[in-house]
Amino acid sequence: MAEFTMELNDEQKEVRDWLHGFAADVIRPAAAEWDEREETPWPVIQEAAKVGIYSLDFYAQQFFDPTGLGIPMTMEELFWGDAGIALSIVGTGLAAVGVIANGTEEQIGTWIPQMYGDANDVKVAAFCSSEPDAGSDVASMRTRAVYDEAKDEWVLNGTKTWATNGGIANVHVVVAVVDAELGSKGHASFIVPAGTPGLAQGQKFKKHGIRASHTAEVVLDNVRVPGSCLLGGKEKLDERLARARERARAGGGERVKNAAMATFEASRPAVGAMAVGTARAAYEEALEYAKTRTQFGRPIIDNQGIAFQLADMRTQIDAARLLVWRASWMATAGKKFESAEGSMSKLFASETAKKVTAQAIQILGGNGFTREYPVERMHRDAAIYTIFEGTSEIQRLVIARTLSGLPIR
C-alpha cells in the first residue's frame, strides 16, 4: 500500500520555522506602526529580501514544491505575523501568477525578475483586473486594448481599481478587453512597465484593514506597449478568440477561461492560507489571554462559555487548513477541481477568519476592542478575505455551478 502522510517533511519544517521566526521577530514588532501609517513598509520588504524571503528564487522553490504545500505554508506563517505587511511582501505574487498562467517562457524569464528586483533595490508588481463597474462581474470590464498592426503595439485605455501595489509597481499586469462581443472570453493580459507614458496612479484607498498594503486605482490613457507585452503572444490569442467565436456561433460548448480567471483559480488556495494565518494568530492571542485573565478568582478559560468557543475556533482553523492543503495538493498533482475545491478552500478559510477574529475580540472583552491588543487589527484585516480575489458569494456561485452543472445566477 502506498504511504500516506499529512506531516511536513524535515525540509518543509525547517522553512516553516524560519518563516515563523521572521514573522515573530520582524513583522509583528512593526505591525501596529505600519497599520497606523497606512504606508508600504519598504524597510520590512527590504529585510525580507535580504534574508531571501522576498525573492524569485524562494517563491519558485515553494511554488514547485512537489507536495503543493510550499505556498500555503509560506502564506500562513507570514500572515500569522501581520496581514497588511505580509500582503506587501507577497502581493507581487499575484502578478507573477498572472504571467506564469498566461505568458510564454520568454515572458516569464523576462518580466518576473523585474517584479522583485534585488536585496539592494527591491521592486513590486501589481495585478490589475477589477474596475469601478467590474469587480465580480468580469464580463462588464471596460478597459480596452486595441492592436495597432502598423506599429505592432497595443493601445490600452481604461481605469483599474483595488490594485495591490497599483501605481507604485515596477511591472503592472493589466487585464483588458480585446473583443467585447465575446464577453469575459474576449479578455487578454498585458505587461505595462513602470514609466510607460499614459500610465498613472489614481486614487489611493484608505482602508478598513490591511492598511500597510498599498491599494490604488491605475489609470491607462492611450498607453502603448509593444506586441511582445501581450501575455501568450498574438498567435495564441488569435487562436483562442477564434475558438471562442466558433463556440459562440455553435451555441456553447467547452468553457474558455479568461485571463483573470486563470490567475484567480491558481491563487485561491493561497488566499485561504492567508486567512488561516490570521485566524490562527487571533486564536492564539485569545487562548493565551483566556489562560492568564482571571475573573471571580479563576482563569476565564475555566468557564465553558470561553473554553467551548476556543475549542470551536481551533477546530474551524484546522478544518480550513485541511481544505487549503487539499486544494493546493490537487493543483500541484494536476487534478481537476471537479467540485470547485479551490473555491471551497477560500470560502471556508475566509469565513473562518472573520468568525474567529470576532470571537477573539469577544473573549478579550473591552481589551479586545482597543488597539492595545492586536486582535482588533486582526479582525479588521480578516474582513478582506471574504471580498478580494472573489467574494464569498462568488465562491458559493462557483461551487454551486460546478456541482449542479447549471448556470445558476
State the Cα angle at 64 between 58 and 65, rounded to 5°: 90
Task: Please state, in angstroms and rounded to a whole number, the distance separating the CA atoms of residues 288 and 133.
Answer: 44
Vertex 184: Cα angle to 143 and 200 (nearest 5): 20
pLDDT at 256: 46
Burial class (CB in 10 A: 0-12, 13-18, 19+), 153: middle
Is 39 assigned a catalytic role? no
pLDDT at 254: 45
- pLDDT at residue 376 greater than cutoff 90: yes
- Residue 18, pLDDT above cutoff 90: yes
Are 172 and 125 in contact by the 8 Å Cβ rule? The answer is yes
Q: What's the confidence (pLDDT) of residue 128?
A: 96
pTM (2 d.p.)? 0.94
**Among 14, 341, 389, 393, the one annotated catalytic:** 389
φ, ψ of residue 92 in degrees (nearest 5): -60, -25
Rounded Cα distance, 191 and 207, in Å: 27
Q: Cα(191)–Cα(201) distance, rounded to whole angstroms?
A: 16
**In this predicted model, which residue has the larger pLDDT, 165 or 253?**
165
Amino acid at 269: P
List, in order, residues 6 or more apart from 98 with CB less than 8 Å away: 127, 173, 175, 189, 231, 259, 263
Whether the per-residue pLDDT at 186 is higher than 90: the answer is yes
Band (pLDDT 50/70/90 cuts) for residue 194 is: very high
The DSSP string of 237-299 is: HHHHHHHHHHHHHHT--S----HHHHHHHHHHHHHHHHHHHHHHHHHHHHHHHHHH-EETTEE
Mean pLDDT of the chain: 94
Question: Euclidean distance between the first and final Cα of the chain, in Å?
Answer: 44
Q: 85 versus 259: which is more confidently predicted? A: 85
Integer Cα distance of 300 and 188 in angstroms:
56
pLDDT at position 369 over 90: yes
Q: What's the rounded mean pLDDT across residues 197-221? A: 98
Residue 51, judged by CB atoms within 10 A of its CB (0-12, 13-18, 19+), counts as middle
Q: Among 190, 186, 187, which Cα is nearest to 199's?
A: 190
What's the confidence (pLDDT) of residue 137?
A: 77
Q: Give the contacts of 105 (CB within 8 A, at least 6 positions apart).
A: none
Q: Mean per-residue pLDDT for 288-311? A: 97
Lowest mean pLDDT, pick from 244-253, 295-304, 395-404:
244-253
Residue pLDDT, tens place only, 148-167: 999 999 999 999 999 999 99
Q: Pick the range with the lowest mean pLDDT from 319-323, 334-338, 341-345.
A: 334-338
Average pLDDT value for residue range 239-264 = 72
pLDDT tens digit string along 78-122? 999 999 999 999 999 989 989 988 999 999 999 999 999 999 999
* pLDDT for the residue numbered 264: 61
The pLDDT-based confidence of 140 (bands split at 50, 70, 90) is confident
pLDDT at 2: 54
Q: Which of 407, 89, 398 is nearest to 264 (CA)?
A: 398
